[in-house]
């Protein structure tokens, strides 16, 4: 007896489709939060003794916003395609990059607050 092949392009349970959409929207909210943080740091935070520090923090937040926004739709599309074909869900490497970058920015901000 041959192994049963997954169906191609079947409509997944609407709850999974809506959950995938909510996840996409959460990524977009994260990108908007990072964008707002970058603008706020540049415009509202008083300059540190290190002249480029405020700009570096702002650019870091803005770069993360671009990364998250730029990868959120392709991620949504890959997950939707996997659900439709019955394949395993794709891994998300952006989570590791985002986590590491936020830790670096938080550490940099902490050092600036304490020592500058």
DSSP 67-94: HHHHHHHHHHHHHHHHHHHTPPPPP-TH
Express each pLDDT in 19-69 by its tens digit: 999 999 999 999 999 999 999 999 999 999 999 999 999 999 999 999 999
12: confidence class by pLDDT, cuts 50, 70, 90? confident
CA dist 10 and 1 (Å) reads: 23
Can you give the pLDDT at residue 68?
Answer: 97
Average pLDDT, the chain: 92
Q: Identify the burial level of 57 via C-beta atoms within 10 angstroms of its C-beta, where 0-12 means exposed, 13-18 middle and 19 or more buried.
A: buried
Mean pLDDT of 92-108: 95
What is the value of pTM for the model shown? 0.84
Q: Lowest-pLDDT range, 10-14, 27-31, 78-82?
A: 10-14
Alpha helices per DSSP H over the chain: 14-44, 53-85, 94-115
CA-nearest of 63, 47, 61 to 105 is 61
How close are the terminal C-alpha atoms of the chain, in Å?
71
């Amino acid at each position: 007896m041959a192994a049963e092949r997954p169906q191609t392009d079947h409509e997944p349970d609407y709850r999974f489709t809506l959950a995938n959409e909510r996840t996409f929207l959460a990524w977009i909210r994260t990108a908007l939060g990072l964008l707002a943080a970058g603008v706020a740091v540049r415009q509202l935070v008083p300059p540190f003794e290190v002249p480029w520090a405020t700009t570096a923090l702002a650019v870091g937040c803005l770069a993360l916003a671009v990364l998250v926004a730029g990868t959120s739709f392709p991620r949504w599309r890959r997950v939707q395609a996997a659900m439709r074909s019955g394949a395993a869900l794709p891994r998300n490497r952006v989570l590791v990059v985002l986590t590491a970058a936020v830790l670096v920015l938080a550490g940099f901000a902490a050092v600036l607050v304490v020592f500058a």
